[in-house]
Amino acid sequence: MRFEGSKLLDIYIRELYWLCHQVHSGTTKLFEMFPTVNGKVFISAQVDGLDKIYSILSYAAKVQEIISFSKPDKIHRERSKHIKKLIEPLSISEIRNKKVRNTIEHFSEYLDDQNKKHSLFHCSNRYLVAFNLIISHWRPIDSPNFPFKLYKTPQLQYPIYPIRVYVADERRFYNMDFSIDLSLIHQEAFEIMEHLKPYFKEESPEDWVSSMIVL
């Protein structure tokens, strides 16, 4: 079977578009939920924001899955080759970034490593471990005495180490030693959607045709 002539090929393209639509709409809502206006300082433990981020990264993971292949089957390789060729003109990187998603999917294992590192570290300077927070802004601080990167924000007295922290003015999500640029993911999802629109008969691809005739 040639993948390019396969009968269900159209569904792969629609699936990729739909996944990117979910990523783009999710990031749009997140940015609307936590805008940074006139340098306003805030800190929030609003669960809806973190849930939204988890959803965005979950859809981004599915975009990566449809582009790449993890099994040796010929059809998986051909599907990956075809989708990559389809979006070849685009520069797509952040939406395919797996590292932060791995820290979420295998959270306890990464937390074990950090727990060990923090527990064995002794320093007279105090710091906070901030987790499950939305912060308006912060800045990295020079901390040569620490084996991990710390950040300072006016909302909190001590420098902080982030575990599942979203920084609104950067539009970046931090989880331990790793971070991902949600603004760039937002942009890349939009670029893929725009690139795929000529493949659809509908004026607006969101107006789905939910069935197809197979001959």
- Of 84 and 32, more confident: 32
Q: Convert the pLDDT of each residue in 146-177 to its tens digit.
A: 888 999 998 888 899 999 999 999 999 999 99
Supply 83's token pair.
Answer: 């989708």
Average pLDDT, the chain: 86
Domain residue limits, the chain: 3-36+48-98+182-199, 105-175
**Cβ atoms < 10 Å from Cβ of 30:** 24
Residue 212 has pLDDT above 50, yes or no: no
> What's the whole-model pTM score?
0.87
Residue 207 has pLDDT above 70, yes or no: no
Judged by average pLDDT, the poorest of 5-9, 37-41, 72-76 is 5-9
> Which residue's structure tokens are 């971070």?
179
Q: Convert the pLDDT of each residue in 82-95 to its tens digit.
A: 778 878 888 888 99
